[in-house]
Amino acid sequence: MPRWKTLGRRAALASSVCILAIASAKSEESSFAQIERGRYLAVAGDCVSCHTAPGGKPFSGGFGVETPFGTIYSSNITPDPDTGIGRWTDEQFYKALHDGVSANGDPL
């Protein structure tokens, strides 16, 4: 199997774990247990490795991954409501994870 396909599958799996981690801690009403679960998932999925550009803020995106069809840049998965995913609904998280669709309907 080509290396880029293997990397793509690993990236998709890691992204799923990262989105789950952020989703579990996104609500202002999150309990301590939910926040700790999100922290655990973010560490387990090593979300910071793909969602943090060199010298950038953790999870703020901008990390470039070279592929045969161009550079793909990671998204901001912080809970910031303006630049991150802080306003996403549970349904939007689900669609991102399962269908590869962003909150605005664009492909991820």
Q: What is the DSSP track for 15-34? A: HHHHHHHHHHT-STT--HHH
Angle between helices 3-24 and 32-44 (to 10 degrees): 170
Residue 63 CA, chain-centre distance (Å), reads 12
- β partners of residue 107: 101
pLDDT of residue 48: 94
State the Cα–Cα distance between residues 91 and 47, nearest whole angstrom: 21
HSE, CB side, 13 Å, CA atoms: give it for residue 100: 7
Q: pLDDT 10s digit of each residue in the chain, 108 long?
A: 555 555 555 555 566 556 555 555 555 556 888 889 889 988 999 999 999 999 999 999 999 999 999 998 999 999 899 999 989 998 998 898 789 888 999 987
